[in-house]
Amino acid sequence: MAHCHCRSVLHRDIKLDNILLDGEGGVKICDFGVSKLITRNEVIQEQCGTPAYLAPEMSSNSKYSGFFVDIWSLGILLYVMLQGTVPFRAQTMDGLY
């Protein structure tokens, strides 16, 4: 993620499905379909990505400083890898938010 962020690329859809391992055990990030090139202090308000991995400021349609939403999603990803489930679940989208 640091490699992307230092090149001003915001992924915005970090999740288990978008993490691959190559033949040598190296980690690869895929699916840059909702990614965005941003400037260092750019503020964004677009909501995109997978709901269970969204940072609170994204799910509430608030303005956010780009790179922090990827860091939040990495935390959710780590939780999923350790626990086998997402930390926040609900029957409806409103319940999840």
Domain 2-96 has CATH 1.10.510.10: yes
Q: Domain spans of the chain?
A: 2-96
Per-residue pLDDT tens for 25-50? 899 999 999 999 998 788 988 888 88
Share of the chain above pLDDT 70, in %: 97
Question: What's the rounded mean pLDDT across residues 54-71?
Answer: 86
Tell me how far the alpha carbon of residue 87 is from its chain's centroid.
14
Active site residues: 13
Distance (Å, rounded) from C-alpha 43 to C-alpha 87? 27
Is residue 69 within 8 Å of 57, Cβ to Cβ? Answer: yes
Is residue 34 within 8 Å of 49, Cβ to Cβ? Answer: yes
Residue listed under structure tokens 């503020």 = 43
